[in-house]
């Protein structure tokens, strides 16, 4: 997927200005999260998830924020070139600054956040910021994200599977409950590599985790993955 543009069924993602390109994590989250009337995409990057949600719901309004100026410009261009331009707004801002300066409340806060912790960084500082939690720790993402939620709002995230316990602890600290959880495995018999999760302030909701397998064999996608993403990938 590492190329200057990526063509989906209803929109094109141009990504030459972005440190983080289109990847499976974003496609998974954009396909899996439950749609909402008013959404904010935190760390939108190319604008992929915002565009996917706009495609899925013809009435959804999506705000997107991005701290990197070039990525923000690219997300704006991608949104403007799409059929959903009138329903997506992109802002150049960090989450902390945006949360401190808005009275807006959202039905969904969604993010494919940076998740590398205490790992070796490369020479590309923008890529480091997009990939490492220094720029947006999970604790800050959930705390600030919760402040943006409407009373029935949800937070949707994709994270490494080994952060599930940490996520649950941070959620409880912020009076949030895990209401949906899908563990993503690359192939049969493999350990989960990612989790897709939704958090809510409603502790009456109970979660039964499920599993999504991406491939049945090398190069052959599973039925579950095809059904989840077929409205977006050209060749699904």
Q: Beta strand pairing status for 5-7 and 12-14?
A: antiparallel
> Quick one: pLDDT at residue 108?
98
> Quick one: pLDDT at residue 161?
97
pTM of the model: 0.91
> Quick one: pLDDT at residue 51?
98
Encode the chain in three state secondary structure.
CCCCEEEECCCEEECCCCCCCCCHHHHHHHHHCCCCCEEEEECCCCCHHHHHHHHHCCCCEEEEEECCHHHHHHHHHHHHCCCCHHHEEEEECCHHHHHHCCCCCEEEEEECCCCECCCCCCCCHHHHHHHECCCCCHHHHHHHHHHCEEEEEEEEEEEEHHHHHHHHHHHHHCCCEEEEEEEEEEECCCCCCEEEEEEECCCCCCCCCEEEEEEEECCEECHHHHHHHCCCECCC
Domains and CATH numbers, the chain: 5-229 (3.40.50.150)
CA-based R_g, the chain, Å:
17
> Quick one: pLDDT at residue 135?
67
> Quick one: pLDDT at residue 150?
98
Inter-CA distances, 54 with 36, 84, 119, 151, Å: 10, 6, 34, 22
What gap in Å lies between CA 74 and CA 50, rounded to an integer? Answer: 13
> Quick one: pLDDT at residue 133?
45
pLDDT tens for the chain, 236 residues: list them: 457 999 999 999 999 999 989 999 999 999 999 999 999 999 999 999 999 999 999 999 999 999 999 999 999 999 999 999 999 999 999 999 999 999 999 999 999 998 745 444 445 454 444 443 456 899 999 999 999 999 999 999 999 999 999 999 999 999 999 999 999 999 999 999 999 999 999 999 999 999 999 999 999 999 999 999 999 999 88
Name the burial class of residue 151, with classes exposed (0-12), middle (13-18) and buried (19+) by CB atoms within 10 angstroms of its CB: exposed
What gap in Å lies between CA 89 and CA 196, rounded to an integer? Answer: 25
What gap in Å lies between CA 122 and CA 124, rounded to an integer? Answer: 6
């Amino acid at each position: 997927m590492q190329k200057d543009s990526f063509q989906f069924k209803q929109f094109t993602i141009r990504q030459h200005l972005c440190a983080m390109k289109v990847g499976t994590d974003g496609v998974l989250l954009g396909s899996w999260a439950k749609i909402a009337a008013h959404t904010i995409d935190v760390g939108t990057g190319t604008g992929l998830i915002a565009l996917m949600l706009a495609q899925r719901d013809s009435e959804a309004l999506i705000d997107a924020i991005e701290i990197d100026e070039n990525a923000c410009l690219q997300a704006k261009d991608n949104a403007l070139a799409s059929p959903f331009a009138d329903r997506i707004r992109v802002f150049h801002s960090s989450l902390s600054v945006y949360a401190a300066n808005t009275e807006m409340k959202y039905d969904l806060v969604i993010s494919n956040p940076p998740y590398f912790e205490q790992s070796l960084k490369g020479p590309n500082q923008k890529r480091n910021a997009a990939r490492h939690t220094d720029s947006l720790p999970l604790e800050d993402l959930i705390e600030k994200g919760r402040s943006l939620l409407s009373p029935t709002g949800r937070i949707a995230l994709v994270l490494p599977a080994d952060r599930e316990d940490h996520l649950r602890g941070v959620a409880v600290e912020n009076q949030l409950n895990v209401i949906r959880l899908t563990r993503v495995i690359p192939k049969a018999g493999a350990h989960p590599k990612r989790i897709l999760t939704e958090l809510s302030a409603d502790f009456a909701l109970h979660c039964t985790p499920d599993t999504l397998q991406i491939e049945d064999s090398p190069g052959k996608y599973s039925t579950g993955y095809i059904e989840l993403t077929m409205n977006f990938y050209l060749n699904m």
